[in-house]
Amino acid sequence: MSVILITGASTGIGNLTARRLADAGHTVYASMRDPDGRNTEPAAQIRAYARDTRTDLHVVALDVTSQASADAAVQTVIEGHNGLDVVINNAGHLYVGYVEAFTDDDVTHLIDVNAVGTHRVNRAVLPHFRQRRAGVLMYVGSTIPVTTPPFMGPYVASKAAMDALAVVTAYEANAFGIETVIVMPGAITDGTDHFPNASSASDTQVAAAYNALDPMVADTERATNALFTPPVKGAAGVAEEIVRVLDLPFGEKPFRTVIDDAHAGVEQVNDAAYRARAEFVRRMGFDALLNPTRR
């Protein structure tokens, strides 16, 4: 069984995943920004679940916008259990609206949370993983950099940035026996609060210039639901896939795995992109970086 830290575990995919991993016998640290403040209720619910189920499930404070917070959370886990095996970069936020109406501060903030946040957590954990020459970096990404739907421009950009950082970090981590898995959920409305809690653009004057499109924006969640074909897996399906993948032995975990109720054909794009990237890296003479190696 593994010691696992998961970010953004107050709600949705992160919360479900923390519980399912604990149910499977892992030691799990469910992190959230402020368990003694704004996240008091979800923190209490997780602690109650741990007591009721007698699972090794804990709560730890971690704000992905702070390197000091990420460092402290990782150190707490390592000291508490003499190590850390898996980090699941899950924390994220959704923006819905017109690209032009999002200010530079809006876009910068979302990229800071959704992309740079994973980098901060990685910087906190990679020294430990490199020393052990083992560990798993798992990312809860999205199919959205491939599907690129309208009215979610900053979110698309932030998830694409996270994905690119994950890919390049993987090359370098592979040399130290550190595995990478990018979990790619499709559009999800079941089991998350992404749409109800989504932020809108700050520049309301510019947004008003697009008011002819407002009915489409208001219809985004319904239009997303219309893409699904039963049975719908939702957030629970993502949690189940994470549990399954982490149970696979070293060298057998997929670099990407897609859970997409919309069946958007993302797997074919992933396969083509992987082949092109791998060939490019081989032509550079760096093919040893394509897969994790233990020495």
| DSSP structure string for 47-92 | HHHHHHHT--EEEEE--TT-HHHHHHHHHHHHHHHT---EEEE---
Query: What pTM, to 2 d.p., does this model score?
Result: 0.95
pLDDT at 276: 98
pLDDT value for 199:
84
155 is annotated as an active-site residue: yes
Q: For residue 26, what pLDDT is reported?
A: 98
Residue 9 has φ and ψ, to the nearest 5°, of -100, 15
Tokens of 290: 């394509």
| Spatial contact of 140 and 93, defined as CB atoms under 8 Å apart | no
**Under CATH, domain 3-289 is a member of which superfamily?**
NAD(P)-binding Rossmann-like Domain (3.40.50.720)
Query: What CA–CA distance (Å, rounded) separates 3 from 80?
Result: 10
Non-local (6+) Cβ contacts of 20 within 8 A are 239, 240, 242, 243
Q: Which of 29, 155, 171, 274 is catalytic?
A: 155
Strand duo 86-89 + 3-6: pairing: parallel
Residue the block writes with tokens 């403040």 = 37
For residues 58 and 265, what is the distance between their CA atoms, to the nearest angstrom?
37
How confident is the prediction along the chain (295 residues), in pLDDT tens digits per residue?
Answer: 999 999 999 999 999 999 999 999 999 999 999 999 999 999 999 999 999 999 999 999 999 999 999 999 999 999 999 999 999 999 999 999 999 999 999 999 999 999 999 999 999 999 999 999 999 999 999 999 999 999 999 999 999 999 999 999 999 999 999 999 999 999 887 656 666 678 889 999 999 999 999 999 988 888 888 888 888 889 999 999 999 999 999 999 999 999 999 999 999 999 999 999 999 999 999 999 999 998 7
Q: Which pLDDT score, from 0 to 100, does residue 192 have?
A: 62
- Domain spans of the chain, in order of start: 3-289
CA neighbor of 238 nearest in space, from 12, 25, 6, 52: 12
